[in-house]
Amino acid sequence: MDKQHTFHRSDLVRIAIDAMKERGLEPEFPPRALQQLQTIGAAGQDDDPRIRDLTALPWCSIDNDDSLDLDQLTACGPLSNGAVKIFVAVADVDALVKKNSAIDQHAHTNTTSVYTSARVFAMLPERLSTDLTSLNPGQERLAIVTEMVVDAEGAVTHSTVHRARVRNHAKLAYDAVAAWIEGEGDLPEAARAVPGMDEQLRTQDAVAQRMRARRRAAGSLDLETFQPRAVFDGDRVVDIRQQAQNRARQLIEEFMIATNTCTAQFLAQHGGSALRRVVRSPERWLRIVEVASKYGEALPKEPDSRALEGFLARQRKADPLRFPDLSLVIIKLMGSGEYVVEHARGEPIGHFGLAVRDYTHSTAPNRRYPDLVSLRMVKALLSGERPPYGLAELATLAEHCTHQEDAAQKVERSVRKSEAALFMQGLIGQQFDAIVTGRTESATWVRIFTPPAEGLLVSGDFNLDVGAKIRVKLVSTNVERGFIDFEQAH
């Protein structure tokens, strides 16, 4: 235990800063970027007559309770034969953040925002990402709008991409919207204030569920990761909570996946190369087959996402308690996603986990640099200009973005461990129900349920099988290193 120090939020910020520097990420904006920021006084403007006025559409944003960097809005309208037109607006961040500017160079260095509960290390300065380039309620903003016709079976049958002016009519949060959709809460006040917004949300939810069912049938993997986050009251960590999947999150997830696919197809159809996000067919597929066989399931000898999803769905239903641990095993064996350059006439690698062939990142340009690259490529095509990035530059970007995003995820993971260790400090000596999540020759790992936290078993029976339920006692924590140690209780 860290006996010499009582840890606070500021300690977690320091731990995060050190972790970022160690992995080649810049925690603070350089002076040149801050100087450029002083010259930006208003949201982006553009008098191009091709930009459509879609401010009257009933746009809304749905994001986390505390999200201020709003990248996308959604709206919908009914068509004939059960089809629905889905509109997705993505903030035109490029209107203010030009390629190779000082702010852009910092964004290029980190390539992503780094999210920790103690502090968000935004890719763009807050005055941009939470204000002037954010799709904030009541504000007119420039955007790239993707219009998709989704048929009664959940298939996108047609899509168009264009520039537009938009206005967010209701800033909504996932949990409140999901509670209302599922009949467990009232329609949020911001939605009640907009006539017809209840019908908008019902229709969008229904369309998203059809799209989700279609993707699942095609082999999209429904995995559940263990990523508890600290909850703060001022400077104190007061809880650790695992983020629950819900219908509102699924709504946004489906529309963003569809938009990313349509953007990739738009670039390809117009002869443009693009940064694509891919998850290759797993090289360690036979190890996945081995894992499934331990559960009495036989998977094909060749990679088959549909068969894998069937196995995962059955396991989620049969043993929800242990499903996050199985998910983690499968994620590790599948390998991580990466950015690659794909040419218009090339054969797409695809995204094995999402069961889609054409996929780019395009819907979060305030938070991810590849999305800003995609946005610039789309804008150049729409205006008939030369692509802002050549093939060699895109190839360098793909490698750099993959590396930096991996680094950011490692920082977030290590800080989550420190957050958990800080909260658990006050619970030393207490006992918990736990499950064995991992075992090597030298270590046994356990996960407790309430609060959700993972740690090392330092004393007890080290021959326990993964998945075994045991009772443990918390014996020590190390906030700096993110260590939590348990001993088996008798």
pLDDT tens profile 259-288:
999 999 999 988 777 888 888 777 788 889
pLDDT at position 362: 94
How are strands ordered across the β-sheet holding 84-91? Answer: 52-53, 156-167, 140-150, 84-91, 72-78, 60-63, 170-173
pLDDT at position 346: 66
Residues 229 and 373 in one domain: yes
What is the distance between the alpha carbons of residues 120 and 113, in angstroms, rounded to a whole number? Answer: 7
Q: Hey, is 1 helix, strand or coil?
A: coil
Full DSSP string of 37-75: HHT--S------TTSEE-TTS--EEEE-TT-----EEEE
Residues 228 and 328 in one domain: no
| pLDDT higher than 60, residue 309 | yes
Measured at the alpha carbon of residue 168, what is the angle toward residues 164 and 174, in degrees to the nearest 5?
A: 125
| pLDDT higher than 70, residue 4 | no
Is the distance from CB of 173 to CB of 108 less than 8 angstroms? no
Is 2 a domain residue?
Answer: no
Residues 231 and 351 in one domain: yes
What is the distance between the alpha carbons of residues 329 and 338, in angstroms, rounded to a whole number? Answer: 19
Residues 197 and 119 in one domain: yes
| pLDDT higher than 60, residue 245 | yes
Cross-strand pairs, 73? 89
**Domain housing 304:** 285-335
Full DSSP string of 248-270: HHHHHHHHHHHHHHHHHHHHHHT
| pLDDT higher than 90, residue 241 | no
Residue 97 is encoded by which pair of tokens?
């953040």
Is 1 a domain residue?
Answer: no
pLDDT at position 1: 42
Residues 315 and 406 in one domain: no
Most confidently modeled of 46-50, 95-99, 346-350? 95-99
Any alpha helices (H) in 173-246, and if so which ranges?
A: 174-181, 189-192, 197-218
Closest CA to 55 of 160, 135, 129: 135
| pLDDT higher than 60, residue 2 | no
- Final residue in a domain of this structure, among 390, 421, 452: 421
State mean pLDDT over 367-374. 96
Is the distance from CB of 161 to CB of 154 less than 8 angstroms? no
pLDDT at position 403: 96
Residues 156 and 268 in one domain: yes
* DSSP-based helix, strand, coil % in the chain, nearest 5: 40, 25, 40
- Final residue in a domain of this structure, among 403, 421, 439: 421
What is the distance between the alpha carbons of residues 164 and 54, in angstroms, rounded to a whole number? Answer: 6
**Other C-beta atoms lying within 10 Å of the C-beta of residue 298:** 10
Cross-strand pairs, 171? 61
The confidence band for 345, taking pLDDT boundaries of 50, 70 and 90, is low
Residues 358 and 222 in one domain: yes
Tell me the pLDDT of the chain averaged across its residues: 91
Tell me, what CATH number does 474's domain have? Answer: 2.40.50.140
Q: Hey, is 351 helix, strand or coil?
A: strand
pLDDT at position 5: 66
DSSP one-letter code for 280:
P
Residue 251 is encoded by which pair of tokens?
């709504």
Is 66 a domain residue?
Answer: yes
- Final residue in a domain of this structure, among 404, 421, 438: 421
Residues 184 and 312 in one domain: no
pLDDT at position 155: 96
Residues 72 and 101 in one domain: yes
What is the distance between the alpha carbons of residues 396 and 403, in angstroms, rounded to a whole number? Answer: 11
Residues 328 and 355 in one domain: no
State mean pLDDT over 132-145. 97
Residue 296 is encoded by which pair of tokens?
């009495």
Is 322 a domain residue?
Answer: yes
Closest CA to 263 of 397, 404, 339, 373: 373
Tally of residues, the chain: 490
Number of domains forming the structure of the chain = 3
Any alpha helices (H) in 193-273, and if so which ranges?
A: 197-218, 247-269
Is 212 a domain residue?
Answer: yes
Residues 27 and 166 in one domain: yes
What is the distance between the alpha carbons of residues 100 and 393, in angstroms, rounded to a whole number? Answer: 13
Q: Hey, is 373 helix, strand or coil?
A: helix
**Is the CA virtual torsion 185, 191, 194, 199 positive or negative?**
negative
pLDDT tens profile 148-172:
999 999 999 999 999 999 999 999 9
The confidence band for 109, taking pLDDT boundaries of 50, 70 and 90, is very high
State mean pLDDT over 398-407. 96
pLDDT tens profile 9-37:
899 999 999 999 999 999 999 999 999 99
